[in-house]
A and B are shown apart, each in its own frame.
Chain A
Amino acid sequence: MSTHLTGGFTDAPTQSARAFRTVLEALARPGQIGTLAGATPPAPLSPAAGALLLTLADQTTPVYLAPLHDTAEIRGWITFHTGAPFVTPEEAVFALGHWAELPLSRLSAGTAEYPDRAASVIVETDALAPANARLTGPGIATQTTARLPETAFFQSNRSLFPLGLDFYFTCGDQVLGLPRSTRVEAL
Chain B
Amino acid sequence: MNAPHHDPDYNFAYLDEQTKRMIRRAILKGIAVPGYQVPFASREMPMPYGWGTGGVQVTAACLVPEDRLKVIDQGADDTTNAVSIRRFFQRTAGVEATEKTTEASVIQTRHRIPETPLTEGQILVYQVPIPEPLRFLEPRESETRRMHALADYGLMHVKLYEDIARHGAIATSYAYPVEVEGRYVMDPSPIPKFDNPKLGGNPAIQLFGAGREQRIYALPPYTAVRSLDFEDYPFEPSKANHDCDLCGASGSYLDEVITDDQGSRMFVCSDTDYCETRRNAGHRGRLSPEEAR
Binding site for B on A (CB under 8 A): 12-14, 16-18, 20-21, 23-25, 27-29, 55-58, 60-61, 112-116, 118, 120, 137-141, 161-162, 166, 179-181
Contact = CB atoms under 8 A, between A and B. Distances in A.
A160 to B, nearest CB: 11
B32 A181 contact: yes
29 contacts: A16-B21, A20-B62, A21-B62, A21-B64, A24-B28, A24-B31, A24-B205, A25-B205, A27-B32, A27-B220, A28-B31, A28-B218, A29-B221, A55-B21, A56-B25, A58-B21, A60-B22, A113-B146, A116-B26, A116-B29, A120-B28, A138-B181, A138-B222, A139-B221, A141-B203, A162-B33, A179-B32, A181-B34, A181-B181
Nearest to A83: B18
Interface in B51-78: 61-65
A28 B220 contact: yes
B184 interface: yes
Interface in B1-41: 11-13, 17-18, 20-22, 24-34, 36, 38-39
Interface of B: 11-13, 17-18, 20-22, 24-34, 36, 38-39, 61-65, 120, 145-146, 148-150, 181, 183-184, 203, 205, 218-224
Nearest to A165: B32
Contacts of A24: 24, 27-28, 31, 62, 205
Residue among A25, A137, A139 having the largest count of chain B Cβ atoms under 10 Å: A139
Residue among A17, A18, A139, A141 having the largest count of chain B Cβ atoms under 10 Å: A17
Contact of A55 (B13, B24, B220): B24
A141 B65 CA distance: 29
Contact of B11 (A13, A61, A180): A13
Given A14-B64, A14-B65, A24-B28, A115 B221 contact: no
Nearest to B205: A28
A15 B30 CA distance: 22
B39 A13 contact: no
Given A138-B220, A138-B222, A17 B21 contact: no
Contacts of B64: 14, 17-18, 21
B246 to A, nearest CB: 35
Nearest to B223: A138
B29 A29 contact: no
A161 B34 CA distance: 11
Given A162-B183, A181-B34, A23 B220 contact: no
Nearest to B146: A113
Contacts of A14: 12, 64-65
A121 to B, nearest CB: 12
Contacts of B205: 24-25, 28
Contacts of B31: 24, 27-28, 139, 179
Contacts of A58: 18, 21
B36 A162 contact: yes
Contacts of B61: 20
Contacts of A28: 31, 205, 218, 220-221
Contacts of A13: 11-13, 17
Residue among B145, B218, B220 having the largest count of chain A Cβ atoms under 10 Å: B220
A18 B20 CA distance: 12
Contact of B24 (A56, A115, A180): A56
A20 B207 CA distance: 14
A116 B64 CA distance: 25
A51 B22 CA distance: 16
A33 B223 CA distance: 20
Contacts of B24: 20, 23-24, 55-56
Contacts of A55: 21, 24
Nearest to A16: B17
Contact of B184 (A27, A112, A140, A162): A162
Nearest to A11: B12
A120 B13 CA distance: 26
A17 B28 contact: no
Contacts of A17: 12-13, 20, 62-65
B149 A181 contact: no
The 3 closest A-B pairs by CB, nearest first: A13-B12, A179-B32, A139-B220
A180 B32 contact: yes
